[in-house]
């Protein structure tokens, strides 16, 4: 029998629902794993008694709701009323929010328990936290949702919440060899999540199986659970190398080309989708929006606690963002809108885009969480994205493939991803 902490969220929910598993036993198994693997440093707040108390309360209540007592890890830029929220910054040491973020409340209302807070980079930007990659501690787990990706990959919790402004859900999920999902922009409420860039920030989910996504998504939308359709016809796939292609290493380029061939051989129609001008510069427009908005949304931190902001955030994001002319920002906003319309038209001919999840394996060392280019494009596009684990690279670390769906076509993306996953597994 599989140890409880190794069950996927969907498997655990089924067993919790049938009574084959209690929330307390599941939480206990997760906590034991977390204690045993403390050196992954995935958690910034983990109080075993607090987690167990919630699990016991769920058991006593009969494990109601879609999530039936499932423990979830919450990225530490998301407010929790009963746990500190530090935003990965010394400025917020000991910060105790008054209320839960909307996403936390929605998960609790669906019967989930909050296991603890997972490590984030400083303000979900680039200055790294302490977390290591569970596959090899000499490598980064990626960021900014570092702790959620590492904890899920290491079987310390079945699912975690992350956020993505550039590449902060999909990239760490790929680096840690798990499933990551960034929904269509505007779907998941961001109330109570530390705001970085209002045109970009997107709440996402990190888990170990595609089947985990429907119940978690339903809980976060306060809507019904749509099961993945595994009898869907082969999707029309757009091979999209994207303007970031040259940044991908040989193993990742080969993985994407090989995957495209495999999927074509499996019955999918594969065509190429190429970016045309002016969208070949789309990363520059993402950078302008990200810097301009972060420089203003982090005004309090920048102005009142400048000495406690990391030099890398201050000098490469906030200062350039302050200096960027308003007209350059507005131009980027308007080009991004044209880009979204262009992309929406491209989805008339394809169901899903196949593209790298990251430039390669996780980089060595903990100084950088890696290059977000393969993600920033799609964060700006407001399209739903899923990363699936896809073998390992030259250093034996995980690789992922990313599938991008049409905006608001999240459920169809899951169906296509299931088809792709089944063909890539063969």
Q: Catalytic residue positions?
A: 75, 144, 168
Check residue 95 for interaction with another protein (CB under 8 A).
Answer: yes
Q: Which stretch binds another protein (CB under 8 A): 65-73, 90-98, 152-160, 412-420?
A: 90-98
- Shortest distance, CB of residue 401 to another protein, whole angstroms? 26
Number of residues that bind another protein (CB under 8 A): 42
Tell which one of 54, 118, 168, 199 touches another protein (CB under 8 A). Answer: 199
Q: How far apart are CA 88 and CA 76, in angstroms?
A: 7
- Should residue 414 be labelled a site residue for another protein when binding is judged by CB under 8 A? no
Of residues 106 through 145, those in contact with another protein by CB under 8 A are 106, 108-109
101 binds another protein (CB under 8 A): yes
Q: Is 295 in the site for another protein (CB under 8 A)?
A: yes
98 near another protein, rule: CB under 8 A: yes
**Residue in 3, 99, 130, 265 binding another protein, rule: CB under 8 A:** 99
Phi, psi torsion values for 305, nearest 5 degrees: -135, 40
Told to check if 304 binds another protein by CB under 8 A, we report yes
Q: Which of 9, 29, 68, 104 binds another protein (CB under 8 A)?
A: 104
* Residue 404 β-bridge partners: 353, 385
Site stretch for another protein (CB under 8 A), options 51-59, 152-160, 187-195, 265-273: 187-195
User: Per CB under 8 A, does 222 bind another protein?
Assistant: yes
Smallest separation (angstroms) from another protein to the CB of 365: 32
Cα–Cα distance between 130 and 132 in angstroms, integer?
Answer: 7
Nearer to another protein, 98 or 277 (CB): 98
Contact 415, 403 (CB under 8 A): no
Q: Kindly state the tokens that stand for 94.
A: 């000991």
> According to the binding rule CB under 8 A, does residue 330 interact with another protein?
yes
Q: Where are the alpha helices (DSSP H) in 125-248?
A: 146-153, 170-175, 213-221
- Cβ proximity to another protein: between 155 and 185 the closer is 185
State which H helix or E strand residue 376 sits in. helix 373-381
State the CB neighbour count (10 A cutoff) for residue 234.
17
Among 171, 182, 190, 287, binds another protein (CB under 8 A): 190
* d(C-alpha 115, C-alpha 180), whole Å: 19
Among 37, 258, 296, 364, binds another protein (CB under 8 A): 296
User: Is 333 one of the binding residues for another protein (CB under 8 A)?
Assistant: yes
**Rule CB under 8 A: is residue 275 a binding residue for another protein?**
no
Expressed in percent and rounded to 5, the helix, strand and coil fractions of the chain are 45, 15, 40
d(CA 335, CA 352): 22
SS3 272: strand
Q: Which stretch binds another protein (CB under 8 A): 138-146, 245-253, 330-338, 351-359?
A: 330-338
Kindly tell me which of 100 and 212 has the beta carbon lying closer to another protein. Answer: 100
Question: DSSP character for 319?
Answer: H
With contacts defined by CB under 8 A, name the span among 15-23, 36-44, 240-248, 290-298 that binds another protein. 290-298
Contacts of 57 (CB under 8 A, 6+ apart): 113
List the one residue from 116, 128, 134, 192 that touches another protein (CB under 8 A).
192
Burial 141-153 (b: 16+ CB within 10 A, else e): bbbbbbbbbbbbb
Q: Which of 26, 24, 20 is nearest to 7 (CA)?
A: 26
| The only residue of 76, 100, 361, 371 in contact with another protein, by rule CB under 8 A | 100
* CB of residue 371 to another protein, shortest distance in Å: 26
Sign of the CA dihedral with 315 first, then 316, 318, and 323 last: positive
Least distance CB 143 / another protein (angstroms):
21
425 within 8 A of 389, measured Cβ to Cβ:
no
Tell me if residue 115 falls in helix, strand or coil: strand
In order of 111, 326, 330, 356, the CA distances from 338 in angstroms are 41, 19, 13, 23
Question: How far is the C-alpha of 325 from the C-alpha of 236, rounded, in Å?
Answer: 41
Q: Does 298 bind another protein (CB under 8 A)?
A: yes
303 contributes a contact to another protein by CB under 8 A: yes
Task: Provide φ and ψ at 392, rounded to 5°.
Answer: -130, 165
**Cβ atoms within 10 A of the Cβ of 20, count?**
12
Please give the residues from 223 up to 262 whose contact with another protein meets the rule CB under 8 A.
Answer: 223
Task: Establish if 57 lies at the interface with another protein (CB under 8 A).
Answer: no
Which residues here bind another protein, judged by CB under 8 A?
A: 81, 92, 95, 97-102, 104-106, 108-109, 186-187, 189-192, 195, 198-199, 221-223, 293, 295-301, 303-304, 322, 326, 330, 333-334, 408
């Amino acid at each position: 029998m599989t140890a409880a902490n190794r069950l996927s969220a969907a498997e655990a929910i089924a067993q919790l629902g049938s009574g084959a598993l209690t929330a307390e036993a599941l939480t206990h198994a997760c906590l034991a794993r977390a204690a045993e693997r403390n050196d992954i440093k995935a958690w910034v707040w983990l109080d075993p008694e607090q987690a167990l108390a919630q699990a016991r309360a769920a058991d006593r209540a009969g494990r109601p709701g879609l999530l039936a007592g499932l423990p979830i890890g919450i990225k530490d830029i998301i407010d929790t009323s009963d746990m500190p929220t530090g935003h990965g910054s010394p400025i917020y040491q000991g910060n105790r929010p008054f209320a839960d973020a909307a996403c936390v409340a929605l998960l609790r209302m669906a019967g989930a328990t909050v296991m603890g807070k997972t490590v984030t980079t400083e303000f979900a930007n680039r200055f790294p936290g302490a977390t290591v990659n569970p596959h090899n501690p000499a490598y980064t787990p990626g960021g900014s949702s570092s702790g959620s990706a590492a904890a899920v990959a290491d079987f310390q919790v079945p699912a975690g919440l992350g956020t993505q402004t550039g590449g902060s859900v999909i990239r760490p999920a790929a680096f840690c060899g798990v499933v990551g999902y960034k929904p269509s922009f505007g779907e998941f409420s961001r109330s109570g999540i530390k705001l970085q860039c209002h045109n970009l920030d997107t709440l996402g989910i990190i888990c170990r199986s595609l089947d985990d996504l429907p119940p978690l998504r339903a809980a976060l939308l306060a809507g019904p659970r749509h099961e993945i359709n595994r009898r869907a016809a082969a999707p029309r796939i757009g091979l999209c190398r994207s303007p970031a292609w040259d940044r991908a290493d040989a193993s990742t380029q080969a993985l994407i080309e090989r995957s495209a061939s495999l999927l074509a051989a499996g019955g999918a129609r594969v065509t190429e989708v190429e970016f045309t001008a002016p969208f070949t510069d789309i990363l520059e427009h993402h950078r302008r929006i990200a810097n301009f908005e972060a420089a203003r949304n982090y005004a309090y931190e920048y102005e009142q606690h400048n000495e406690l902001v990391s030099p890398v955030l201050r000098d490469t994001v906030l200062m350039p963002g302050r200096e960027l002319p308003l007209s350059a920002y507005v131009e980027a906003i308007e080009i991004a809108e044209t880009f979204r319309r262009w992309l929406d038209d491209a989805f008339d001919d394809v169901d899903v885009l196949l593209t790298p999840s990251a430039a390669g394996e996780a980089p060595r060392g903990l100084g950088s969480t890696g290059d977000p280019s393969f993600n920033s494009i799609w964060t700006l596009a407001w399209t739903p994205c899923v990363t699936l684990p896809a073998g390992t690279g030259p250093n034996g670390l995980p690789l992922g493939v990313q599938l991008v769906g049409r905006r608001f076509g999240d459920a169809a993306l899951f169906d296509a991803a299931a088809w792709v996953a089944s063909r890539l597994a063969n």
